[in-house]
Amino acid sequence: MKILVAVKRVIDYNVQIRVKEDNSGVVTENVKMSTNPPDDNAIEEAVKIKEAGKAKEVVAVSVGEEKAQETVRKALAVGADRGILVKVDGVIEPLAVSKILKKIVEKEKPDLVFMGKQAIDDDCNQTGQMLAALLNWPQATFASKIEVKEKSLEVTREVDEGLETIEVKVPAIVTCDLRLNEPRYASLPNIMKAKKKPIEQVSAGDLGVDVKSRIEQIKVEEPPKRKAGIKVASVEELVQKLKNEAKVI
Ligand code: AMP
């Protein structure tokens, strides 16, 4: 079995996001970038399946600027066998990413595609679903447990009501939740070894995918500042304020 894992380079989750003065987007210059957190879970799961002898190869793919190579390299350092970087300049929308990933899937012919459930920069939660639709493959989204069977997967999903377990036939798309596993850290020897692993570079143009934006971003604004809280002296006062001021009870 071969597993393709999509990894996106995003602003690190610890960074305090700042909006650009002209409201055209967020500041990314001199800002720490990392792998999108659920994509770390996706790589970890693929590597674990390989270590369990149920997969032969794990291929990491990222779509983005030249620097997204670092994200692919990190996936190689935690156990992926080789990488693919699809070079695109500027912002790229989920539909274009999924069209690119479709081309990569057609070339690589993986049995499974693992992705994150959502990218923390745009919060779209669309790419996996769009890729499944384009390929006409089954999808299991928000996976918090994956069991590999003969020609299918049993996937436990995080849904509003709790947990749902479904079975999907392979080939399939799985989008991974943060609860799926505990991603490992890359050890220094593995970081060094990853430098020798191959990363193939292609451009969206080589794949014949039009990456033009379909969405016009009008402006980006900071959320309104939250007012400071207050301390109340008693439960009675709290109830009175919730009733008469906040009007929530
Ligand atoms: P989104 O639909 O933008 O919330 O992203 C969902 C998932 O799709 C991410 O967690 C990644 O696994 C994958 N993905 C989105 N954009 C990219 C990208 N530029 N390169 C690689 N994978 C991506």
Q: Answer yes or no: is 75 within a domain.
A: yes
- The label of the residue with tokens 């994956």 reads 146
Residue 125: closest CA among 112, 113, 140, 142: 142
Q: How far is the CA of 239 from the centre of ligand 1 (A)?
A: 45
What's the sign of the alpha-carbon dihedral 147, 148, 149, 154? positive
Please check the confidence at residue 91 and state whether its pLDDT lies above 90.
Answer: no
pTM assigned to the model: 0.92
Whole-angstrom Cα distance, residue 43 to residue 116?
9
Helix, strand or coil, per DSSP, at residue 74: helix
Sign of CA dihedral 168, 75, 100, 110: negative
Give Cα separations from 83 to 57, 70, 155, 204, 219 (angstroms). Answer: 11, 11, 26, 16, 35
What is the structure's pLDDT at 31?
A: 96
Cis check for the bond before 138: say yes or no (omega within 30 of 0): no
The residues lining ligand 1, judged by C-beta closer than 6 Å to any ligand atom, are 6-8, 36, 38-39, 62-64, 92, 94, 97, 115-116, 118-119, 122, 124-128
End-to-end CA distance of the chain, in Å?
56
Residue 46 covered by a domain: yes
Is residue 176, in this structure, part of any structural domain at all?
Answer: yes
What is the per-residue pLDDT for 226? 87
Full domain range(s) for residue 104:
2-244
**Closest to 174 measured CA to CA, from 2, 25, 3, 34:** 3
Report how many domains make up the chain: 1
The answer to whether residue 249 is domain-embedded is no
| CATH number, position 148 | 3.40.50.620
pLDDT at 90: 85
Distance of CA 190 to the CA centre of its chain: 23
Element (H, E) at 11: strand 9-11
User: Nearest Cα to 28, choosing from 39, 45, 46, 15?
Assistant: 15
CA of 107 to the centre of ligand 1 (A): 19
151-176 tens-digit pLDDT: 999 999 999 999 999 999 999 999 99
Residue 120 lies in a domain: yes
- 40 domain-assigned: yes
Domain assignment present for 110: yes
| pLDDT score for 34 | 97
Return the ligand 1 atom nearest residue 123 CA: 4
- 199 by Cβ neighbours in 10 Å (0-12 / 13-18 / 19+) ranks as middle
Mean pLDDT confidence for 185-213: 95
Output the six-digit token pair for 229.
Answer: 């809280």
Pick from 242, 207, 224: nearest CA to 102: 207
Please tell me the distance between residue 127's alpha carbon and the centre of ligand 1 in angstroms: 6
| 34-67 pLDDT tens trace | 999 999 999 999 999 999 999 999 999 999 999 9
Quick check: is 203 in a domain?
Answer: yes
pLDDT at position 200 is 98
Mean pLDDT within 116-136: 97
User: Residue 225's pLDDT band (boundaries 50, 70, 90)?
Assistant: confident
